[in-house]
Amino acid sequence: MTVTDALAAGEAPVREAGLWSDAWRQLRRNPLFLGPAVVIVVFTVMAVAPGLFTRADPRACDLSHSLLRPRAGHWFGYDLQGCDYYARVIHGARVSMTIGIATVAGTAAVAVVLGTLAGFYGGLVDTLIARVTDVWFALPTFLGAIVVLSVLGGNGLPQLTLVLVLFGWPTMTRLMRSAVLVVRDMEYVTAARALGAGDVRLMVRHVLPNALAPVIVYGAIRVGIVIAAEATLSFLGLGLQLPAISWGLMIAGAQPRLLSAPHLLLFPGLFLSVTVLAFVLLGDALRDAFDPRLR
Amino acid sequence: MPSIPASAELPEPVLSVRDLVVEFPTTDGVVSAVNGVGFDLAAGETLAILGESGSGKSVTAQAVMGLIERPGRVVGGSVVFGGADLLAASDEDRRRVRGSGLAMVFQDPLSALNPVWSVGFQIGEVFRVHRGASRKEARRRAVELLERVRIPAAAQRVGEYPHQFSGGMRQRVMIAMALALDPRVLIADEPTTALDVTVQAQILELLDDLRAETGMGLLLITHDLGVVAETADRVAVMYAGRVVETGPTDAVLVAPAHPYTEGLLASVPRGQSGREERLRPIAGAPPSLARIPSGCPFHPRCPYVVDRCRAERPPLEGTGRAAACWRSDEVGRGRR
């Protein structure tokens, strides 16, 4: 828009933006977003292509190197089996990132569909979904996860993801529902209806884009929580089992030798904490960017 | 501006509403926000529905558009458009009529436009919904419409977002959306209430020009007597969910036949220079819809009240020139 156009329209020139581009404009200058974003990109690349970070094979182990401390060329030392610990920690990123992202994607899919239907239609649909959510919400996550995992038998990535989605969807569904309840009553939804838009179009075009921000924010934080939950379950022996490579398993293996070989705990613990922190900070930055009151 | 002669012989109406009743359940019991409203709207005509907040005028508009949401309910009457009663039509048929046959402009254009889409996209959406237009075609039509509602530099502004427009320009965008498919009836619900006074006149003029150009019927919902006087051919005055007086604007405003209309006129400054003027507000307050007085709903506030008014509700006879008042012959006599 040129200045003359603006004057012709009788208003001051304003920046060109909508809700999403406004948020992006704010985010790309925010170090609290850029920092975590870079960390997450690095860990994602690590998960997809660990070969870029290490040539060593995490499963090529030599018992003569068992529990050796960090040294030149092997900066993270060796584990009990004499495997290169740096290679193992790098390869552990894949499990954490996969489970974090897959679980949150699955949870969000359930939450967005159920939350939108409940919030948009209200009435019986809402009552039904809200009550099921409440009942499910009352189930204790870890206890429930332990029971289901022990029933499922196999403790691979798919089972862990399933369990974490199973016990994670109610919170996000509630969040989505309440956001939709607010947006549904906006006048632009009524206006679109007055112009002949059907229910599906109203939900997809008008309700979702305006109600999605809280779920995205919570989703980012949730990735961190889920990664920690996988580590916890694996540590407790209910998640992945050896010979899988995961930070949780490494921390579990480090526990009995905490004093003699502290590097076994230090490195996977550090990677885990940094990953979780990055997602939580990213969520915070997203929340600030989507909340116009904080601008 | 009024041009339709003061007679009951109007051309075939495009929109005909009869005995419309809309109920809302509240903690005080079920209230009738609209209670037997009826009117006809002819092609090319402007009918103003005049009333205070709570008189049921906006609910009437929503009911005509089929936008009454739960727990509200249209419990009676008919809304005949294009030869069919919309209240009896299927949801899908009603949806198709909205936007293409009947369109609506809302009070606050900022909240009635979606903040996340450009105005061009939102206008184009109407073509995609009803005509299955491609994105490119929809955008081209959007530019045409923005030009038609006289938005300067339409081709540049089509990609901008609602918050980048001034209030008056936003209302033009809303009007462009409503006019996209050449509806036969446009309902404007307080279209100028949220706007600056200087902009109000421009928007009213635009609506009037577009009505004259397209021959659509314009149903103007307002609480503003000035807007009625300036724009409307005919007026229906609403009180407590009913039409209490109707007729050609000139006739109603010059010689009101209902004490409520008379009271409204007396409470507006005339702005005649050199004359000291006292405004005379209507005594009392509009009734709660949960406790509408017996007989004539206006009787507790009425200076003409007689016993009959408390017992029997006066009917509104016909849609030409009528007032629902037992003493309408006496109303206006002795006025200064």
Name the CA radius of gyration of chain A, rounded.
24
- Measured N-to-C along each axis, helices B91-100 and B119-131 cross at an angle, to the nearest 10 degrees, of 130
Q: Which chain B residue's Cα is nearest to A10? A: B166
DSSP classification of residue B289: G
The answer to whether residue A7 scores a pLDDT higher than 70 is: no
The answer to whether residue A16 scores a pLDDT higher than 70 is: no
pLDDT in the model for residue B42: 92
The verdict on a CB contact (< 8 Å) between B65 and A194 is: yes
pLDDT in the model for residue A202: 92
pLDDT (average), residues A240-268: 82
pLDDT (average), residues A231-237: 82
B164 touches chain A (CB under 8 A): yes
pLDDT in the model for residue B274: 54
pLDDT in the model for residue B277: 65
- Which domain CATH number covers A285? 1.10.3720.10
In a domain, A8, yes or no: no
Mutating which of A195, A202, A210 best tests the B interface, going by the most B Cβ atoms within 10 A? A195
Instruction: Tell me whether the omega of the peptide bond preceding residue B71 falls within 30 degrees of 0, making it cis.
Output: yes
Helix (H, G, I), strand (E, B) or coil at A191: helix
Cα distances from A99 to residues A50, A140, A229, A241, in angstroms, run: 16, 20, 10, 15
To which residue do tokens 């009913």 refer?
B242
Q: Provide the residue type at A254 as one letter.
A: A
DSSP classification of residue B151: -
Contacts of B115 in chain A (CB under 8 A): 18-19, 188, 210
In a domain, A13, yes or no: no
pLDDT in the model for residue A271: 87
List phi, psi (to 5°) of B118: -70, 155
Alpha-carbon gap: A111 to the closest alpha carbon of chain B (Å): 22
DSSP classification of residue B279: -
A127 touches chain B (CB under 8 A): no
Please count the structural domains in chain A: 1
Q: Which of A10, A187, A198 is the closest to B112 by Cβ? A: A187
Vertex B58, ends B291 and B99: CA angle to 5°? Answer: 150
Q: Which of A1, A195, A209 is the closest to B99 by Cβ? A: A195
| pLDDT one-digit tens code per residue, A134-183 | 898 888 888 888 888 888 877 788 888 888 898 889 999 999 999 999 99
Strand pairing category for B217-222 and B185-189: parallel
Identify the bridge partners of residue B238 per DSSP, sorted by sequence position: B243
Mutating which of B73, B90, B114 best tests the A interface, going by the most A Cβ atoms within 10 A? B114
What span, in angstroms and rounded, lies between the C-alpha atoms of B94 and B87?
8
Query: Helices marked H in B101-166 — which ranges?
Result: 119-131, 135-148, 154-157
Could you give the percent of chain A with pLDDT greater than 90? 20
A292 touches chain B (CB under 8 A): no
The verdict on a CB contact (< 8 Å) between A1 and B157 is: yes
Q: Residue A131's domain spans which residues?
A: 92-294
Strand pairing category for B13-26 and B73-81: antiparallel
Give the highest mean pLDDT range of A6-20, A271-285, B181-195: B181-195
Which residues have CB under 8 Å from B251's CB, separation 6+? B6, B321
Q: Which of B99, B111, B126 is the closest to A188 by Cβ? A: B111
The verdict on a CB contact (< 8 Å) between A9 and B169 is: yes
Fold of B13-101+181-323: Rossmann fold (3.40.50)
B73 touches chain A (CB under 8 A): no
| Strand arrangement, sheet containing B242-248 | B102-105, B185-189, B217-222, B46-50, B234-239, B242-248, B322-323
Contact A41, B184 (CB under 8 A): no
pLDDT in the model for residue A114: 94
A24 touches chain B (CB under 8 A): no
pLDDT in the model for residue B318: 66
What span, in angstroms and rounded, lies between the C-alpha atoms of B190 and B57?
10
pLDDT in the model for residue A4: 43
Structure tokens at B10: 């109007």
Contacts of B138 in chain A (CB under 8 A): none
Contacts of B152 in chain A (CB under 8 A): 5, 8-9
The verdict on a CB contact (< 8 Å) between B116 and A201 is: no
pLDDT tens digits for chain B (336 residues)?
A: 444 444 445 567 899 999 999 999 988 888 889 999 999 999 999 999 998 888 899 999 999 999 998 889 999 899 999 888 999 999 899 999 998 999 999 988 888 998 888 899 999 988 988 888 888 888 899 999 999 999 999 889 998 888 889 888 999 999 999 999 999 999 999 998 888 888 888 999 999 999 999 999 999 999 988 889 888 999 999 999 999 999 999 999 988 889 999 888 888 776 665 556 677 788 788 888 888 888 899 988 888 888 888 888 898 876 678 888 888 888 866 443
The verdict on a CB contact (< 8 Å) between B125 and A5 is: no
In a domain, A5, yes or no: no
Closest alpha carbon to B181 in B68, B88, B285, B102: B102
pLDDT in the model for residue B5: 46
pLDDT in the model for residue B333: 64
What span, in angstroms and rounded, lies between the C-alpha atoms of A138 and A295?
36
DSSP track, A102-151: HHHHHHHHHHHHHHHHHHHH-HHHHHHHHHHHHHHHTS-HHHHHHHHHHH
Size of interface A-B (CB pairs under 8 A): 109
CB count, 10 Å around CB of B40? 23
pLDDT in the model for residue A248: 79
Q: Which chain B residue's Cα is nearest to A23? A: B116
C-alpha torsion B173→B68→B227→B299, nearest 10: -170
Q: Mean pLDDT across chain A, nearest whole number?
A: 82
DSSP classification of residue B256: -
In a domain, A61, yes or no: no
Contact B199, B167 (CB under 8 A): yes
Contacts of A194 in chain B (CB under 8 A): 65, 67, 98-99, 103-104, 106
List phi, psi (to 5°) of B78: -140, 150
| Strand arrangement, sheet containing B84-85 | B29-42, B13-26, B73-81, B84-85
Contacts of B164 in chain A (CB under 8 A): 1, 14, 16
Q: Which residue has the higher pLDDT, A15 or A221?
A: A221
Alpha-carbon gap: A62 to the closest alpha carbon of chain B (Å): 59
In a domain, A274, yes or no: yes
What span, in angstroms and rounded, lies between the C-alpha atoms of A169 and B336?
72
Closest alpha carbon to B173 in B152, B197, B201: B152
Contacts of A6 in chain B (CB under 8 A): none
pLDDT in the model for residue B131: 87
Structure tokens at A232: 């916890």
The verdict on a CB contact (< 8 Å) between B96 and A196 is: yes
Contacts of B101 in chain A (CB under 8 A): none
Could you tell me the residue ranges of all domains in chain B? 13-101+181-323, 112-180
